[in-house]
Amino acid sequence: MKLALHPDDPPVARMNGVTRIFNTYDGFRRAEKLAASPNWGILFCVGTWSEAGAGAGKSVVEMIRDFGGRGKILEVHFRNVSSPLPRFHETFPDDGFVDMYAVMKALREVRYNGGLGADHIPGLAGDENRRAGTAYCIAYIKALLRRANQDVG
């Protein structure tokens, strides 16, 4: 059994009077040291980490290289956002400020082989069940993966 830590969402220092510590690189390193277990890792939410911007201490790709390079990424939530805090909205993978190909390529470079899913899929007019949005996200993810596999091997 493995335990994956998701970053605080939204990644703010305090929310409703409660201090939050899992929204920065240092917070995640601290959690890793406290757990000190081969069964501990992270559920790396690209969207949440992107929302934090420079305040996270490391970029999305830097986090992948660090934690993924050590086999500590157990699952990935693959989504994009319009911009970092204080104002953002969730977007389709090809419509935000993060280069999602660079994210996919970094995951392949560290030989990540766990689960990766579309996350917080935006709604489309007339798509109440989000089936069309889900299909779009999955197709886009597959295209990015195919290209990264070609480039990285």
Sequence spans of domains, the chain: 3-152
* Mean pLDDT, residues 132-148: 96
Tens-place pLDDT, residues 22-34: 888 999 999 999 9
CATH superfamily name and code, 3-152: Divalent-metal-dependent TIM barrel enzymes (3.20.20.150)
> What six digits make up the tokens of 63?
């986090």
> What six digits make up the tokens of 8?
């605080």
The answer on pLDDT for 3 being more than 80 is yes
Tens-place pLDDT, residues 50-88: 999 998 999 999 999 999 999 999 999 999 999 998 999
First to last CA, the chain: 30
Assess contact for 147 and 101: CB atoms under 8 A. Answer: yes
Q: What's 114's DSSP letter? A: S
Burial 24-54 (b: 16+ CB within 10 A, else e): bbebbeeebeeeeeeebbbbbbbbbbbbbbe
Assess contact for 123 and 133: CB atoms under 8 A. Answer: yes
Ranges assigned E (strand) in 1-125? 3-5, 14-15, 18-19, 40-45, 73-78, 80-81, 90-91, 115-118
CA angle 130, 105, 113 (to 5 degrees): 75
